[in-house]
Amino acid sequence: MRTLIDESQLDDGVSKLAKEIDSNYGGRPITVVAVMTGSLVLFADLIRRLSMPQRVGVIHASSYRGGTQAGKLEIDSKMLIDVQNRDVLLVDDIYDTGATLTKLSAAIAEMGASSVSTAVLLKKLRPKQIGPKPDFVAFEIPDEFVVGYGLDYLDMYRNLPFIGVLEPDEIEATARQ
Ligand SMILES: O=P(O)(O)OC[C@H]1O[C@H](OP(=O)(O)OP(=O)(O)O)[C@H](O)[C@@H]1O
Ligand SMILES: Nc1nc2[nH]cnc2c(=O)[nH]1
């Protein structure tokens, strides 16, 4: 595995992201929503660095089913707290095609949120991204399949403390496990 963003760079990136979000909201309360499962590591680190009052919730969205290609997006909002008349910040690990955050933002707006913004750790530099760009981005990365710090391949690697790129032989070996 090749390291793309190491632990110390991640730490700096998350702090920078938190500062940008703080200065944008200027102390206004927000409802911060983790897009599960990929955002769980980022989310835990980010919310502890934000200084405004926060209500915290989760929503589940899955389209990659652990693999490297997107399929149909499934959204499960059963565990989500009430977002009506709230300023919502959706937090996700990665913006790749843009489909997940675009559809989730529309779903949260539909639920009656006053505003919906988006924050991601990683934004891929690739053609054909749909919807508005994320409002807050820690790192822009090349168009490679990455794992670690919450991101998985076949539900593995989420626990890695860094962002890495899986080599083709590692993709095959993991799939055989
Ligand atoms: O911009 P997109 O092309 O829509 O890709 C981004 C989404 O893909 C991953 O989720 P995934 O479907 O793998 O589910 P997971 O969070 O449970 O890993 C990631 O966590 C984002 O939510
Ligand atoms: N693990 C992982 N999930 C993704 N979902 C969309 N892009 C990616 C990626 O590069 N890695």
Q: Does the beta carbon of 101 lie inside 6 Å of ligand 2?
A: no
List pLDDT tens digits, range 41-64.
999 999 999 999 999 999 999 988
List pLDDT tens digits, range 10-20.
999 999 999 99
Q: Does the beta carbon of 91 lie inside 6 Å of ligand 2?
A: no
User: For the chain, what percent of residues have pLDDT higher than 70?
Assistant: 100
Residue 170, helix vs strand vs coil: helix
- Counting ligands in written order, which one lies closest to the CA of residue 171? 2
| pLDDT for res 175 | 84
Residue 60, helix vs strand vs coil: strand
Q: Structural domains in the chain?
A: 2-176 (3.40.50.2020)
Q: Which residues pair with 92 in a beta bridge?
A: 120
Residue 106 CA to residue 59 CA, distance in Å, equals 13
Active site (catalytic) residues: 96
**DSSP states of 91-130:** EEEEESSSHHHHHHHHHHHHTT-SEEEEEEEEEE--S---
| pLDDT for res 85 | 98
Buried b (16+ CB within 10 A) or exposed e, 116-134: bbbbbbbbbeeeebebeeb
List pLDDT tens digits, range 74-109.
999 999 999 999 999 999 999 999 999 999 999 999
| pLDDT for res 49 | 98
Q: Nearest-CA neighbor of 56 among 26, 16, 11, 88?
A: 88
Instruction: Kindly state the tokens that stand for 57.
Output: 């919730």
